[in-house]
Chains A and B, each alone.
Chain A
Amino acid sequence: MGRYVARRLLQMIPVFIGSTFLIFAMMFALPGDPVRALMGEQAYDPAVVAHIRADLGLDQPLWQQYATYLWHLVQGDFGTEIASKREISEIIAQAFPVTIRLTLFAFTFTVLVGISLGVIAGLRPDSVRDRGLLTLTLVLISMPSFVLGYLMQYLFAFQWGITTPTVQDSNNFGDLFLPAVVLGSLSLAYVARLTRTSMAENLRADYMRTAVAKGLPRRRIVGVHLMRNSLIPVVTFLGTDIGNLMTGAIVTEGIFNVQGVGKTIFDALTRREGSTVVGIASLIVLVFLLTSLLVDLLYAVLDPRIRYA
């Protein structure tokens, strides 16, 4: 087990370098120039621009820029923004907690509501409530998050006046309710369906018949024997989903004006602030890598038939 974890952690290094390099190269390939963006509409002297570019190291070839960037990164230096001269680590420190809070909110919502709906439907496959859930989840899956987002805004803020249309204080949990529901709704649909199918399938398993034959009360049959088996795929899905929720927040954060990672990365992209984009993306890559390792380890804990050597 320990060796397995060590191997996986070592494998992360090339994946991390590779993925950050790709993002870096893509930023490099984008048309536009942060220095010219800095100048705006005013007339500028090409010599001055060239000087600034040389100062920032932007005249160097791609690989050299990347090597420098990575060298600084391992030392914990994310660099500074060109236009605002702000430390990127400071920007990240401001945006990440907001997104993490939003993600956890959405995640909790997904887990509680999604699994409950799945259990309710899965215990009676092909019943009215099962078909109802199937329809509901189909609607949620086929609806893009911005449609759902604007719809919720329209209903909750403009029609009923329960909330403000956008988030005023990104650190306030109550304000984050609406974006969290919108963000979590897609995962919720998948979790509900996965739970439902897994339950319905295991309901017919031989060991369930054994559990009944043992004279166990129904609560125990469902709670221990059925759930323990049915939730294995759900847990693994939820694990990989944390990363998706964090990146999926870009659209949702935009709609609801949440000052999180998604909005920051989008703004940085329009201003061609490469270091900011790469810095944030690298952290998200890291989140993906760590959660998938966690899921694989969790899988072995949940299912004794799986062993890592």
Chain B
Amino acid sequence: MVSGKHKSRSMRRVFRRTPGGKTVMAFKKRKPSKAKCAGCGKVLPGVPRERPHKMQNMPKTAKRPQRPYGGVLCSSCTRKKIIEKARK
């Protein structure tokens, strides 16, 4: 039976197989929302959706694209911004 604090759906339910062969329900915190472009609101590809402790252990290069505004703006918005700067 689920204990009281786990009855709400604020935690996600994950099925885990124990070494003994049983399938057990584990409760985990939900993942944060997907990273979005600050310009157009598109979902940013190349930015992982993980909890902070996992993000901490990841290398910097795995966390965002290797370009100016990487992880903040999408590629098309970055292009627009750079072209705007160049034409001024």
Asked if A and B bind, the verdict is no
